[in-house]
Every structure is written in structure tokens, then in C-alpha cells.
């Protein structure tokens, strides 16, 4: 059992004083202090266990001993930078290349998804010699200056939309302009991107890239309609731009059937740049950009070095390799298919019982359950979702919401999540009957914070 240094109240008090308050806590009205974690379970200062439904970063399970061992062994040998030749970086790049379409064969290692997306932006602009970027509505691509500019979820609350940013409708067939009854929503939503490009061209602007998460997360756990990405890529290529697939939340087998979420769109679709991050190091800061030889060559041709002090160091790569090993050895993709499939079935059963459950969608262990005031208007049940999150916390289940109205209960647990965990989180029907009543007003204001917070995990 890990020992507390400070009593929880004191930790909280010191945190409020020493750490910028823009860095928020889960459940800010009553945060949890977590001392240790293993697999899909978190333990607080009293040893109470919480089921973790949202830590997608701790991909193969919290504190997996294989990862710790790989890190410690390499830390004892060498933790230097990539200006010295080392086997780990090429071993790791080679392993990643084997998971990707052949044309994505050049890698840049960095320290965070944000660093990866910023570099993707630089690569796209250098290659195309264009500046403008198309993004999806409600998207979030990172905390850096350049990425807030391409994140409608952020820039709408801050300095607003730059003239070089173009926002396409989120291809959400539950809430969006084309819905599940449309004959070809993939084509229809792709056409909105095409129109946006035409409008931009009329203003004399030039498109460097289309940036999108392969499954929009902050947007509300959205699954793209069939054919969407391929058709978008065609329009973007025609405009001289590149397709950037942000796989920071969705990669490394989370969708189960495929290693990367963009592969759900079929073998005839391949992005030009893929950015990866969060789950890559199981908690360790590592991220990466994969791209084509042509794009990498254009970046090299400017004659300016790209040096990332920590990116691709032997320890980060040893950890990355160990994560890949565990995904394979423990068949975590198979587990995502089985457990994710079962969880979706359980949530669909809840939907048959509770009018509050408007939609259940997902693939593998990337699942959303959208709550609505009623199924005809599809008006988001934001307060009810907040109430559910709070009730589940009382049951020691850590979960959060997503989507433009914080009305989507999101599941993206460590990949070792079990059938029993799925049943635990979805078969306490009293929670779901209770949430049909309006939540206590006293909690509403406080909850607005942790819910907003939870969206970027």
C-alpha cells in the first residue's frame, strides 16, 4: 500500500495554491485522491477500489509490470537523445510500420499528441506550400497555440476562428444535418467538405490539410459513416492538400478489429499523415507522427533540422515496444472486440428499458451512450448525464461525459476491461431509473467543471 505524504485536504489545499487552476480535477466538488492503480482498477488513500472506465492512456492496464520492467532496464543502460545511433528507435519504428499501410513508412518521435499534431501541421504546410486547414466542428487537437487555432472546441471560447481555418460539419448521424435515415451520409458529409474547399478557393485561399480524429472523441464518440474519409481525402487531394488522421485517442487497437481506427473506413482509404500519442507509452510521454516518403522528403528539403530533445529516446522506445508486446501477448484487440461487443449489447438492453438512452454507438472499447430528454426531439440530457456520472462515482465507477452538450457517457477504459467490469457498469438498473428524475440543483454548477474537464482525456 502506497503511503500518503499529506492528508487529502492538505494535498488539495497545496494543489490549489501551487498548481495553475486552469489545470482541473475530476469531480472538482469532491475530487478523488488516487494512490495506486493496477489493470483497470484505481485505489484511493483508504484503499477503496474504483473501476476505471475512461483511462485510455493506460492502454494495457495501469502499472503493467512488463512496461515498468522494460523502462527500468533501459533507464539503467541509456536515456540519451536521438543524435546518437541506437537500435530501439529503428526497432520501434519498424514495428509501427508493420501496423500501417506501406506508404506510411517514415516516423518522427515526439513527447505528446500535441507535439505530434503541431509537427503534422508543419509537415503538411511544408509539403503543400499551402496554409489553410479544414477541421471538424467540436474538434480538439491539443493545447498548443497552433492547435487551439484548429480546435473549434477551444477557439470558440478563446480568440475565435482564424481566417485560415475552415470548419466542416461533424458527420454525426444522430444529431447532425444528415442522419441515420439518409441513403448515403458518407457522401453527403464528404460533400460538405468539398463545398467548404470551393468556398475557400473563391476567397483565394489554399488548403494544406484536412485534420480529423478517426473517431471524433470530444465531438461525442462519433463513428464516421461509410465512405466518408475516402471521399474527403479525394477532395482534399484535388485541392493540393493532405489528409491528417489524428489517432491520438483511437489508435493501438482500441477499436479491436483493426489496429488503427482509420482502417475502419476500408482498405481503399489511407491518410497522408497519422498522429499517435496517448496510449503509446501506457502513461509515459511518447507520441509520434507517421507519414509518407514524399512528405518527409519535402520537410528535409528545407534544410532545417528537426530536433526533439526527448522524442525517440531509448527508454521511450523500449516502453513503446513493451506496450506493443503486451497488446499482442494478451490479445487485447480480441478482448476489445469481445468485451466492447458485450458492453454495447448491455447498453442496448438499457436503451430498451429507459427512454433516456437515446443512442448507443461504438466500436471495440470506444463506446458512447447518448442521453436525451426524449427520443423524438433528441434534446441532449446534459443534467441527467452529469447526475449519472456522479451516481456512478458513488458506486466507485469512474466515468465521464463527452459531446457538444456533455450528454454522451463515454467508455474508453484500459484494454484489459473485462466482461464482469462491463456488467458492473451497466447492470445496476436503479441508477438508470433514478436519473430519469431531474438532478439536484445544488450539484449542477459544480458539475459543469469536471464534465468539461473530462472531455480531453
> What are the C-alpha distances in Å from 436 to residues 76, 388, 395, 411?
55, 10, 18, 21
Tell me the closest approach of the beta carbon of residue 133 to a second copy, in angstroms: 11
Nearer CB in complex with a second copy: 27/224: 27
Give the residue from 123, 423, 387, 156 showing the smallest Cα distance to 272: 123
Tell me the closest approach of the beta carbon of residue 255 to a second copy, in angstroms: 20
Nearer CB in complex with a second copy: 93/135: 93
Q: Is 145 exposed, middle or buried (0-12, 13-18, 19+ CB in 10 A)?
A: exposed
Nearer CB in complex with a second copy: 82/265: 82
- Whole-number Å distance between alpha carbons of 329 and 229: 31
Tell me the closest approach of the beta carbon of residue 288 to a second copy, in angstroms: 11
Nearer CB in complex with a second copy: 274/356: 274
Tell me the closest approach of the beta carbon of residue 353 to a second copy, in angstroms: 32
Nearer CB in complex with a second copy: 97/428: 97
Tell me the closest approach of the beta carbon of residue 186 to a second copy, in angstroms: 31
Cα of first residue to Cα of last residue in the chain, in angstroms, is 27
Give the residue from 402, 257, 422, 427 showing the smallest Cα distance to 331: 257
Nearer CB in complex with a second copy: 60/425: 60
Residue 179 C-alpha cell reads as: 442522419
- Whole-number Å distance between alpha carbons of 301 and 20: 41
DSSP β-ladder status, 287-291 and 41-44: unpaired
Give the residue from 219, 270, 267, 264 showing the smallest Cα distance to 245: 270
Tell me the closest approach of the beta carbon of residue 72 to a second copy, in angstroms: 4
CB atoms within 10 A of CB 11: 15
Amino acid at each position: 500500500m502506497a503511503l500518503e505524504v499529506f492528508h487529502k485536504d492538505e494535498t488539495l489545499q497545496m494543489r490549489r495554491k501551487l498548481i495553475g487552476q486552469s489545470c482541473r480535477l475530476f469531480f472538482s466538488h469532491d475530487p478523488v485522491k488516487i494512490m495506486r492503480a493496477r489493470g483497470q482498477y484505481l485505489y484511493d488513500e483508504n484503499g477503496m477500489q474504483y473501476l476505471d472506465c475512461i483511462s485510455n492512456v493506460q492502454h494495457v492496464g495501469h502499472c503493467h509490470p512488463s512496461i515498468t520492467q522494460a523502462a527500468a532496464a533501459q533507464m539503467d543502460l541509456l536515456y540519451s537523445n536521438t543524435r546518437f545511433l541506437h537500435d530501439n528507435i529503428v526497432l520501434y519504428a519498424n514495428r509501427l510500420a508493420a501496423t500501417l499501410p506501406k506508404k506510411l513508412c517514415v516516423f518522427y518521435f515526439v513527447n505528446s499528441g500535441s507535439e505530434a499534431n503541431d509537427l503534422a501541421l508543419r509537415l503538411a504546410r511544408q509539403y503543400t506550400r499551402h496554409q489553410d486547414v479544414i477541421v471538424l466542428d467540436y474538434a480538439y487537437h491539443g493545447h498548443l497555440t497552433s492547435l487551439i487555432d484548429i480546435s473549434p472546441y477551444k477557439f470558440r471560447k478563446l480568440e475565435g476562428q482564424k481566417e485560415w481555418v475552415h470548419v466542416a460539419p461533424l458527420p454525426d448521424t444522430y444529431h447532425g444535418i444528415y442522419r441515420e435515415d439518409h441513403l448515403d451520409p458518407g457522401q453527403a458529409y464528404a460533400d460538405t467538405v468539398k463545398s467548404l474547399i470551393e468556398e475557400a478557393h473563391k476567397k483565394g485561399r489554399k488548403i494544406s490539410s484536412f485534420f480529423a480524429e478517426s473517431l471524433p472523441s470530444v465531438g461525442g464518440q462519433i463513428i464516421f459513416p461509410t465512405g466518408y474519409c475516402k471521399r474527403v481525402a479525394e477532395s482534399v487531394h484535388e485541392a493540393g492538400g493532405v489528409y491528417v488522421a489524428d489517432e491520438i485517442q483511437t489508435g493501438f487497437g482500441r477499436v479491436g478489429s483493426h489496429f488503427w481506427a482509420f482502417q475502419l473506413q476500408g482498405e481503399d482509404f489511407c491518410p497522408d499523415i497519422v498522429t499517435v500519442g496517448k496510449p503509446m507509452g501506457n502513461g509515459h510521454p511518447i507520441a509520434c507522427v507517421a507519414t509518407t516518403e514524399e512528405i518527409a522528403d519535402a520537410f528535409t528539403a528545407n534544410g532545417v533540422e528537426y530536433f526533439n530533445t526527448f522524442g525517440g529516446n531509448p527508454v521511450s522506445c523500449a516502453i513503446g515496444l513493451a506496450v506493443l508486446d503486451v497488446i499482442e501477448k494478451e490479445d487485447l484487440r480480441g478482448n476489445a472486440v469481445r468485451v466492447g461487443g458485450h458492453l454495447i449489447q448491455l447498453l442496448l438492453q438499457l436503451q430498451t428499458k429507459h427512454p433516456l438512452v437515446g443512442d448507443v454507438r461504438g466500436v471495440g472499447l470506444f463506446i458512447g451512450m447518448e442521453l436525451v430528454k426524449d427520443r423524438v426531439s433528441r434534446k441532449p440530457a446534459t443534467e441527467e448525464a452529469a447526475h449519472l456520472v456522479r451516481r456512478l462515482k458513488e458506486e466507485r465507477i469512474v466515468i465521464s461525459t463527452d459531446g457538444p452538450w456533455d450528454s454522451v457517457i463515454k467508455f474508453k477504459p484500459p484494454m484489459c476491461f473485462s466482461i464482469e467490469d462491463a456488467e458492473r457498469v451497466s447492470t445496476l438498473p436503479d441508477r438508470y431509473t433514478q436519473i430519469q428524475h431531474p438532478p439536484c440543483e445544488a450539484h449542477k454548477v459544480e458539475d459543469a467543471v469536471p464534465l468539461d474537464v473530462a472531455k480531453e482525456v
